[in-house]
Amino acid sequence: MFVFNLILQAQPGGSSISLIFPLLIIAVFYFFLIRPQMKRQKEVQKFQDELREGMDVVTNAGIIGRITKVDGPIVRLMVDEKTFMRVVKSSIQGEYKSE
């Protein structure tokens, strides 16, 4: 809609740069901000869908634990011997790799 309004407002003797500059800005925003964020979001969703028992993971809060049960959107983590936590899949940030 924004681009269409710019085309209608262009004066017959106006510079074509006035039309190219907004399009260039939109392209830069798409390729440097929107597209990488969508790609990262797809990777995180794929990781969360592939969670399985026995994986060592870290949550967004920094809690490290081993998955003992996956029940739909809920994951049970063992954070210590006989200490379990239930968290939602979306709070799991990634796999924990000890050094």
φ and ψ at residue 50, rounded to 5 degrees: -95, 10
* Residue that the structure tokens 């740069």 belong to: 17
| Structure confidence at residue 20 (pLDDT) | 87
What CATH number belongs to 52-95?
A: 2.30.30
Predicted confidence (pLDDT) per residue in 67-82, tens digit: 999 999 999 999 999 9
Reading the block at residue 89, the tokens are 């899949």
Residues in Cβ contact with 10 at an 8 Å cutoff, skipping those fewer than 6 apart:
18, 19
Domain spans of the chain, in order of start: 2-6+14-46, 52-95
Across the beta sheet with 56-59, what order do the strands follow? Answer: 83-88, 74-80, 64-71, 56-59, 92-95
Please state the pTM of the whole predicted model.
0.66
| Structure confidence at residue 18 (pLDDT) | 74
